[in-house]
Structure 1
Amino acid sequence: MQDERNVTVHELIGEFLAARAVRKPSVHTLQAYRRDLTSIVALVAPGDEGASLPLAALSPRVLRGAFARFAADRAPASVYRAWSSWNSFFTFLVTEGVVAGNPMPAVDKPRMAPLSPKPLRGEDTPEQLLAAVSRSDERQRDPWPERDVVVLALALCAGLRLSELLALRTGSFAGRPGERRVEVAGKGGRPRTVPIEPELDAVVERYLVSRAQRVSRSTDVLLVDGRGQPLRRGGLQYLVESCFRRAGITDRVPRGAQLHALRHTFATRLAEDGANASEIMRLLGHASLTTSQNYIEVTSAQQRAAVRANRTNRALGRLG
């Protein structure tokens, strides 16, 4: 075990981030880890003192005080994320033999309510969206319906996250006809395989044909812009928002969901069609079965509300 008095927190944060980078997380994830860790260090040792802060200085009492100040002007979700980052950091240090134990259980964290699924509203909204986007819109500067449809379809029919879409390569699709699948680099570095049906496979193939005709630049990144450059996070978000506008369904997209609403629609429809929580967990790459169970519970509540709205039930109530 290393001597805590001679090692700085700054050095160990670097080692932790390097170890995490091997898992190939998104750049956004690594930046969030660094921001959460250095923000607390800055509260413990402001200014230049943070660079030489020894690990031994981070007692449970010091960490509790730093987190109390951190939480003063931040949302519970931000505090919870920072707590999780520090918990992962100390778990890494325990595994590496740097410290004997993890002090984070002694530091309070906000109690987070389960996140409610936010699918697209309206029974036929996904179908309306796909139909509208599949047609060329002359109002666009450079319409590319095959590319736009494949983005929507991979979220609606395979449940891919934004970061997972950006990580796809042309070789991410494999398998014989009828047994096709897409290999996904999931959240937290967890890979998963999602089966794709012939209809989605055909959408991917049409996009690849159009891509070869439009783009001469050689890259194995699946999703590119009109110049052949890999799509970035902001570009993909804008693409999805423009698809909603073109389809006239912006009022049916839950606030703040955007592309994630498509993934939630995929999961909600799985639950409506009888998939259990374990199946949803595997297909969507959830880390917790509880997250997957949320879709089933919401679907059950919607079904009960529909039954409750039945006028015959109200008539029965009047019989007494």
Structure 2
Amino acid sequence: MAPGNQPLMEALHDFMVEYLEPQGVSENTVRAYQSDIVGIGRIAATATTSEARGLTGRELAKLSAEMATDADLDELTVDDLSASVLRRSFGAWTATHAVSSARRAHSAWSRLFDHLTEAGVVDGNRMAGVPKATARATADAVTGRADDVRSLPGSADDVRRALLDAAATPLPQDDDLEPGTDLWDRQHDPRTRVAPDRDPWPERDVALVATFLYTAARLSEVVDLNNGSLTGPPGDRTLTIIGKGSKRRQVAVHTALEAALDDYRRSDCYADVASTEGPAPLVVANDGKRLTANQVQYRIAKLYRRTGLEEQRTPGALVHALRHTVAVQLVENGVPTPAVQEFLGHASQDTTMRYVRKVARDQRRILDALD
């Protein structure tokens, strides 16, 4: 096999084992890099097809989400990743992700090509010709600060109710839909259509969504939760969350979250596939293995589409939008900034202040509208 014909997924494995691990890169960073490389790899696999010609970045991202398969990704080689394909793929990724996420993805791919160059697979780092994402957030007129708060539209209570209701109600197969109903209309609209789960597990999905909505935890933090992370007697339970830099914080478990977790762990599917031992993952896939970050994002994205939030959310904010939504609600309800900082696990209060400034701006607009 010629060096450039190496499959991307094989190159990714070598990159993680031969390049990242010897450098002592944290597990969370390795997982994030893997997700970024796989995600953009799917777009690249789509960008090489005739259907992708002439599409904008956002259109290419949408086409990739609809048609790219694991088989397409497995067939993608390093040779397929020309500078042109990489620029188009990153343009699509940047159009649909937060600037910080796009920059991290650029770093992941740049380090991947550093590895490929050192291994003699390519002649040089092709990412040199791919521009980095630039900040899109606008500065506040009073503070002059550019903040990137991407909470979901509407009140946090409405968002919580819509997502939990959708998670609790598996989508019927197309043949079971009643013509003329709102659900029938949404399933026949390509912008809102969602593929029904072959093996729905509503108790698990409700517990997953509730964990995000009542803890404001990050994606990686929820994926890493184990049964042993949940401690304390009924009615007074806490979750130990391991955040950035392996810092631990304890979050009191809301009664609604406790009920959701109890229903999930009492479900028949849980009894069939999951383990109750402390080191075992708290939230599992249908095969009993730990849910991956990609699997979680896929489920949240489907719920966004089912509830109409997909058409309204800020581009780039997927699972992390849930964290932003909870943070904004805490500030709106008058929770002191230091308490919000501790709850969210922010190392610096400057990060928490983004939400304070966002709420202040919104309140200022309301006052302006009264003039």
TM range (shorter): 0.5 to 0.7
Distance 1:211 1:77, change over 3 A: farther
Match for 2:308 among 243, 248, 266? 248
Contact 1:174 1:180 in 2 (8 A): yes
Q: Which residue of 1 aligns with 2:220?
A: 163
Match for 2:263 among 192, 202, 206? 206
| Structure with bigger gyration radius | 1
Residue 128, structure 1, aligned to residue 188, structure 2? no
Q: 1:274, 1:152 → 2: CA distance?
A: 24
Q: Which residue of 1 aligns with 2:30?
A: 27
Please report how far the alpha carbon of residue 71 of structure 1 lies from its aligned counterpart in structure 2 after TM superposition. Answer: 7.8
Contact 1:17 1:34 in 2 (8 A): no
Contact 2:305 2:311 in 1 (8 A): no
Match for 1:226 among 286, 309, 312? 286
Q: 2:32, 2:163 → 1: CA distance?
A: 30
Is the partner of 1:309 in helix, strand or coil? helix
Q: Which residue of 2 aligns with 1:196?
A: 253
Residue 281, structure 1, aligned to residue 287, structure 2? no
Distance 1:277 1:77, change over 3 A: farther
Match for 2:151 among 119, 122, 125? 119
Match for 2:204 among 119, 125, 147? 147
Is the partner of 2:267 in helix, strand or coil? helix
Is the partner of 2:251 in helix, strand or coil? strand
Deviates more, 1:245-254 or 1:33-42: 33-42
Q: Give TM-score scaled by structure 2 length.
A: 0.57
Please report how far the alpha carbon of residue 15 of structure 1 lies from its aligned counterpart in structure 2 after TM superposition. Answer: 9.1
Distance 1:184 1:215, change over 3 A: same
Contact 2:211 2:217 in 1 (8 A): yes
Please tell me the residue identity of whatever aligns with 2:283. L
Q: 2:238, 2:207 → 1: CA distance?
A: 15
Is the partner of 1:239 in helix, strand or coil? helix
Is the partner of 2:239 in helix, strand or coil? strand
Q: 1:150, 1:286 → 2: CA distance?
A: 24
Deviation digits for residues 259-301 of structure 1 (CA, Å, limit 9, x no counterpart): 1111111101000011222212111112221110010111011
Contact 1:181 1:195 in 2 (8 A): yes
Q: 1:290, 1:155 → 2: CA distance?
A: 22
Contact 2:331 2:355 in 1 (8 A): yes
> Mind listing any 5+ residue stretches in structure 1 that lack a counterpart?
1-12, 50-68, 79-112, 314-320
Please report how far the alpha carbon of residue 114 of structure 1 lies from its aligned counterpart in structure 2 after TM superposition. Answer: 4.2
Please report how far the alpha carbon of residue 177 of structure 1 lies from its aligned counterpart in structure 2 after TM superposition. Answer: 3.4
Contact 1:173 1:180 in 2 (8 A): yes
Deviation digits for residues 138-164 of structure 1 (CA, Å, limit 9, x no counterpart): 233222111111111111110011111
Is the partner of 1:25 in helix, strand or coil? helix
Distance 1:169 1:306, change over 3 A: same
Is the partner of 1:184 in helix, strand or coil? strand
Please tell me the residue identity of whatever aligns with 1:121. P
Q: Give TM-score scaled by structure 1 length.
A: 0.65
Please report how far the alpha carbon of residue 41 of structure 1 lies from its aligned counterpart in structure 2 after TM superposition. Answer: 9.7
Q: 2:355, 2:148 → 1: CA distance?
A: 8
Contact 1:130 1:152 in 2 (8 A): yes
Please report how far the alpha carbon of residue 74 of structure 1 lies from its aligned counterpart in structure 2 after TM superposition. Answer: 3.1
Q: Which residue of 2 aligns with 1:66?
A: none
Contact 2:167 2:209 in 1 (8 A): no
Contact 2:264 2:270 in 1 (8 A): no
Distance 1:213 1:152, change over 3 A: closer
